[in-house]
Copies of this chain bind each other. A is one copy, B any other.
Amino acid sequence: MTPERILDAAEEVLRRYGPAKTTVVDVARFLEVSHGTIYRHFASKAALRDAVAERWLHRVSLPLAEIAAEQGAAAERLHRWLRQLMVLKRQKVLDDPELFATYSAIAEEAREVVQAHIGELVTQLTQIIESGISTQAFKVTDAHQAAKAVFSATARFHHPAHALEWRDPNIDADFAQVWQLLLVGLVVGETFKQ
């Protein structure tokens, strides 16, 4: 028995039963082993749950990391990165709302894992903005600060708590408008007196 096989099984059982009704015994039954076996590989149900969440979130951050590592124009790359994040999340909620609810419920419990994931995403954003600063496409001075601001300002388009709003057909137009304001802010980068 490998941790990977257990994670595969846990994911499948979660998919079938949902987060509330999934038990360690269910996962063990699915693998036709005793539930003690699972406790040999994971310290607790919470640890198993965190490992599942980590794998899920990795599937989001991996394709984004590719965009962050590309060479092209920073503004275009930043736009594509943000849209990709939005599209990845939205596709999940539209394809299978129940599975998305499962994701979200688990993510809400696995806070440390989610914090690490967000840290990773902000690092990727910082990377893109830094490359924009070095080519003088962006005039902002602190790439990490700017990355955090961009991530905050787009929360409505990627945070699962806003998933219901993603049904609104205007959501793409709303994103475009926010993107426009942020892009101008990054490009100009000046501070205005109040």
Residues of A within 8 A of B (CB): 73, 75-76, 79, 145-146, 148-150, 152-157, 159, 161-162, 174-175, 177-178, 180-192, 194
Contact indicator B194/A76 (Cβ below 8 Å): yes
Residue of B nearest to A137 (CB): B192
Copies in the complex: 2
Contact residues in B for A150 (Cβ distance below 8 Å): 181
The one of B156, B177, B185 in contact with A181, judged by C-beta atoms closer than 8 angstroms, is B185
- Main SS of chain A's interface residues? helix
The 8 closest A-B pairs by CB, nearest first: A181-B185, A161-B161, A149-B177, A153-B153, A184-B185, A155-B156, A76-B194, A185-B185
Report chain B residues within 8 Å CB of A174: 148-149, 152
In Å, the complex CA distance between A153 and B175 comes to 9
